[in-house]
Amino acid sequence: MRPTILVAEDEGLAAMAIEDMLRDAGFEVLLAVDGQQALEMAAEHPFDLLLTDLRMPRLSGNELVRKLREGRPGLPVVVMTGYAPPGGVGALQSGYGPMVLLNKPLDPEELLDNVRLLTGKRI
């Protein structure tokens, strides 16, 4: 079974590029236009990893991570942002699951390497 990645990204072109890249690499993708939609999708669909932007309307990536990890403290997360918080990944960490912080613009290979590592899948 292919790992499923829940992607929360409010920039349409970036979201489509990420979705295409992940699908081409063999992952299933659930695509949300913001944090609130991602939270709603998470309640209805199983997924293996959250890939989220930080700055989004309705619900920020930071709040999304916090809410999802309330029920799944070990959830693997990849955060992508053009505005890294002071303190880096430590400022975002909640729960005990692995978390990676990637700066935008994204390096596609770095993103795929981290998604593969955190899902434990070499596709």
Q: What is the pLDDT of residues 4-38, one digit of tens each?
A: 999 999 999 999 999 999 999 999 999 999 999 99
- pTM, two decimals, is 0.91
SS3 call for 5 = strand
What domains does the chain contain, in order, with CATH numbers? 4-119 (3.40.50.2300)
* pLDDT-flagged residues of the chain (< 50): none
What pLDDT sits at residue 90? 61
What pLDDT sits at residue 3? 96
Strand residue runs (E) in the chain: 4-8, 28-32, 49-53, 77-81, 99-103
What pLDDT sits at residue 86? 65
In the block, residue with structure tokens 């081409």: 24
What pLDDT sits at residue 31? 98
What pLDDT sits at residue 16? 96
What pLDDT sits at residue 15? 96
